[in-house]
Every structure is written in C-alpha cells, then in structure tokens.
Amino acid sequence: MNAIVTQIGDLADAGERMIERLRRKAFLPESRKGLNVRFGIAEAAQLLGCSTNRIRMAEEDGRLPPAPAADNGRRLGYTVGELLHMRQVLGASPARGDSDVPAVIAVQNFKGGVGKSTVTTHLAHYFAVQGYRVLVVDCDSQATTTTLFGFNPHFNITREETLYPYLSIDPTQSDLDYAVKPTPWPNVDLIPSNLELFDVEYELAAAGSDGGSVLAARFRKLKKGLIELAGHYDVVLLDPPPALGTISLAVMQAANALLVPLAATTPDFCSTVQFLSMMDQVLQQLAGAGIAVDYSFVRLICSKFDGNDPSHAMVRAIMEQSFGPALLPVPILESAEISHAAMRMMTVYELDKPIGTAKTHKRSRANLDEAMGQIEQLVRQGWGRVAPADEAVLYAG
C-alpha cells in the first residue's frame, strides 16, 4: 500500500477522533446526549389544543402533578415526557387509531447536500413535539442521522446494531427488534447505521447469477420487518443512501409515502428531475417483477431556501411551474440557527435556548413548524383526520 493510500486512512482516523471529541464536548457531563428543552404553559396549551386554564384545573384537582417549579417558585416549563403524560390525561393524543396504517415515509434524493438527514431529524423531532410515536431508520452508511441523534457511528455503533444482520446474505436476525434503540426523546426510537452497513451492497453485488432473486427477497424482507415494527409507532421515517443501490431500492419499496428534499439551485433542480425519472423507471421495473410499490403521497420540499437570494426565488418559481401542487408551498428556510444546532449535533427542536439571537431562533422554529406541519397534515389526511386540500391537476407538460 503506497503512502498516499495510507494517508487517506490516517485522515479518516483523525477525523473520527475529532468527531468523538466534539461529541463528548457537546454532551457533557456524561458524554451522552440529553434533552433539556421545556415548554411553558402557554406553548403546552397550544400543543395540546386546550386552554392554560384547563391545564391549571387538572393540576389543582390532582389529575396532573403540580407544575414543576424552581426554588424561587417560578415555573420551569414542561418536559417532552410530561407533555406526553398531559396528552393522555387530557385526551389530547394525536396517535393513529388501530385501523390507521402507520405512515412510513422515505426521505429520499440521489443528490447529496440537499439536507436529507437534517430534514429527517427535524421531522422526527417535530412529530415528537406534537405527541406522535416515531421510529427513525438510518439506512445510509454515512450515518448522518445517527450522528444527529447523539451516537458516534464509528465508536458507539457496531455492524450488528445496524440493519446489516437482518439484510445480509447470511442473516443472523429474523426481525428488527434487536436494532431499535431509545433516544433522548421518550417517544422517538432509532435504528442506527454505520459505514459497515455498506457491506450489504457488496454482498448482494457478489451474489452472481442468483442476484435478482436475492435482491427481490431483500426488498420484501425490509418491508416485512418494518411492517412488524411499525405497529408500535404512528410515523416511521426512513433515511436511505443518496444513491441508487440495493438498500435505496428496498427503502423505496418498503415506504408508503415519499418526501423529496431539494435545494433552490439549478443543479439541484436538474438532479432531482433525473432522480424522479430514474425512480419512475425503477418503480416500473419493480412492478414488472411483481414487487408492489404504493405511496399515499409523493411530495417535494424546498430546503435551504434563502428568501433574500433572487436566484433562489427564480429556481423556486421554476419548481412551482414544473411540479405544481406536488411541491409543498412552505420551504425550509436557510437559517444560522439550524447550522449552529447541527454543529452541536442537535436540531432546533432540541435547543433549550437560542444559539443566535432570540429573533432568529423564533423565526427558524416558526418556519420549521409550518414546513413540517405540511407533512403532518398529509399523514393525518391519510388517516381520514383532515379533509384533503383542493389541488389542481399536476402539470405534466
């Protein structure tokens, strides 16, 4: 092995050590991610869809524990866990009914840099704040989503804790229960990933002449495993690799809804068109092979949108003309608060106080609530809880 190749390995090792140092610094004192965010009574009432007086009355008559307070008597605010308990007591849980099919949403684009993992994690935390039970499945060997949930894929996660033992040529697991990990969010679980998950791609590529039947079996197996798990959740979010491979194809088939993030640049628009064209061909081939794919919705969401950049506005207008109502009307705004939170391996929903200015934080959080809320409405529409919006016929010219 020559010196340059060795240098690549040294660079990777140095980078992994730095990631671990950053993780330990971010999650002191136990080097483990925590959740310190609290909600005041006004925000809690808004989330629960009730009045502050109703919460106070429930506390006074003993249905809810007394409001947590500091030594000076000032209310500390409610934790996510306390909010979940309040939802149960006050009948404000948004959970699906027994006959409602869990939403299994693939957040997919073959173009890197569109914020796929950031969108997935923020969407998971948004659903958590709203009171849903969420499972996040990191199917990408780059494991960005796993990192954002506070795990170091190199140091904390082994191959046996990923999808690998279930999807490999010689599986050692017959279901996915082994891989589910709790997160700091009491109503969010994670199936993590790491670089070794890519071994599945190598194994299936080496399957030889029997590769077709092996691939078909893997597609059906991932869907079967996720269906078994999904019964414990309201929403399952899948973060597949940003490339067309075995795992991406399996995710496409396992999902029952598709969300495509794309940035407001011409290269991202062109790449996404290619992605959609490729998906169309692949889905037709899967259907021809007897592998059914059925989505309750397919939507595109513009991410990293800068409203002050004329080029972003121009590209977004092109998106609207091209994709019509399939493009969600509210984009995710480019925000320093999202970037600063990501530096701390967090989302905006995990911040117990603004990193930048209070105004920037409030604007970012309001935008995320509105953007993520669009997807919540689609999920609830699928359960018959929300009347479908009037939509024009998707322009296909």
pLDDT tens by residue, 302-330: 998 998 899 999 999 999 999 989 999 99
- Does 169 lie in the same domain as 70? no
Average confidence score pLDDT of the chain: 86
The answer on pLDDT for 64 being more than 90 is yes
Q: Which domain holds residue 73?
A: 41-90
Q: How far is CA 343 from CA 114, 159, 348, 362, in A?
A: 17, 26, 11, 19
Say what the pTM is.
Answer: 0.88
Average pLDDT for 351-356: 88
- Provide the edge-to-edge strand list for the sheet that holds 181-182: 181-182, 188-191, 134-138, 235-239, 103-107, 257-263, 298-303
- Does 295 lie in the same domain as 187? yes
Confidence of residue 88 (pLDDT cuts 50, 70, 90): very high
Average pLDDT for 162-175: 92
Confidence of residue 5 (pLDDT cuts 50, 70, 90): very low
- Does 67 lie in the same domain as 143? no
Helix (H, G, I), strand (E, B) or coil at 85: helix
Q: Helices (DSSP H) in the chain: which residue ranges? A: 3-26, 41-48, 52-60, 80-90, 116-129, 144-148, 164-167, 199-205, 211-230, 246-254, 266-288, 310-323, 336-343, 358-382
What is the per-residue pLDDT across 150-166, written as a single tens digit (0 to 9) for each? 888 888 899 999 999 99
Determine, yes or no, domain membership for 34: no
> For 384, what's the count of Cα atoms within 13 Å in the CB-facing half-sphere?
5
Q: Name the domain count of the chain.
A: 2
- Does 139 lie in the same domain as 119? yes
Q: Helices (DSSP H) in 100-192: which residue ranges? A: 116-129, 144-148, 164-167
Q: Tell me the chain's radius of gyration from C-alpha atoms.
A: 22
Decide which of 90, 109, 125 is a domain's last residue. 90
Contacts of 124 (CB under 8 A, 6+ apart): 134, 136, 185, 188, 237
Question: In percent, how much of the chain has pLDDT > 90?
Answer: 55
Determine, yes or no, domain membership for 26: no
Task: Report yes or no: 328 and 374 within 8 Å, Cβ to Cβ.
Answer: yes
CATH code of the domain containing 54: 1.10.1660.10
C-alpha 21: how far from chain center: 25
- Does 216 lie in the same domain as 184? yes
Determine how many CB atoms are found less than 10 A away from the CB of residue 192: 25
What's the pLDDT at 207? Answer: 64
- Does 319 lie in the same domain as 259? yes
Determine, yes or no, domain membership for 156: yes
- Does 86 lie in the same domain as 105? no
What is the per-residue pLDDT across 13-61, written as a single tens digit (0 to 9) for each? 676 676 666 666 665 444 456 788 999 999 999 999 999 999 999 999 9
Task: Report yes or no: 113 and 303 within 8 Å, Cβ to Cβ.
Answer: no
- Does 233 lie in the same domain as 366? yes
Decide which of 63, 90, 117 is a domain's last residue. 90
- Does 364 lie in the same domain as 324? yes
Determine how many CB atoms are found less than 10 A away from the CB of residue 317: 11
b vs e for 90-127, b when ≥16 Cβ sit within 10 Å of the residue's Cβ? bebbbebeeeeebbbbbbbbbbeebbbbbbbbbbbbbb
Determine, yes or no, domain membership for 260: yes
What's the pLDDT at 16? Answer: 63
Tokens, residue 80: 């996510």
Determine how many CB atoms are found less than 10 A away from the CB of residue 205: 12
- Does 187 lie in the same domain as 80? no
Exposed, middle or buried by CB within 10 Å (0-12, 13-18, 19+), for 281?
A: exposed
What's the pLDDT at 397? Answer: 34
Average pLDDT for 92-105: 94
- Does 203 lie in the same domain as 167? yes
Tokens, residue 148: 């954002």
What's the pLDDT at 375? Answer: 97
Determine, yes or no, domain membership for 25: no
Question: In percent, how much of the chain has pLDDT > 70?
Answer: 86
CATH code of the domain containing 342: 3.40.50.300
Average pLDDT for 223-240: 95
- Does 181 lie in the same domain as 115? yes
Rounded Cα distance between 343 and 379, Å, is: 30
Q: Which carries the bigger pLDDT value, residue 6 or residue 351?
A: 351
What's the pLDDT at 154? Answer: 83
Determine, yes or no, domain membership for 339: yes
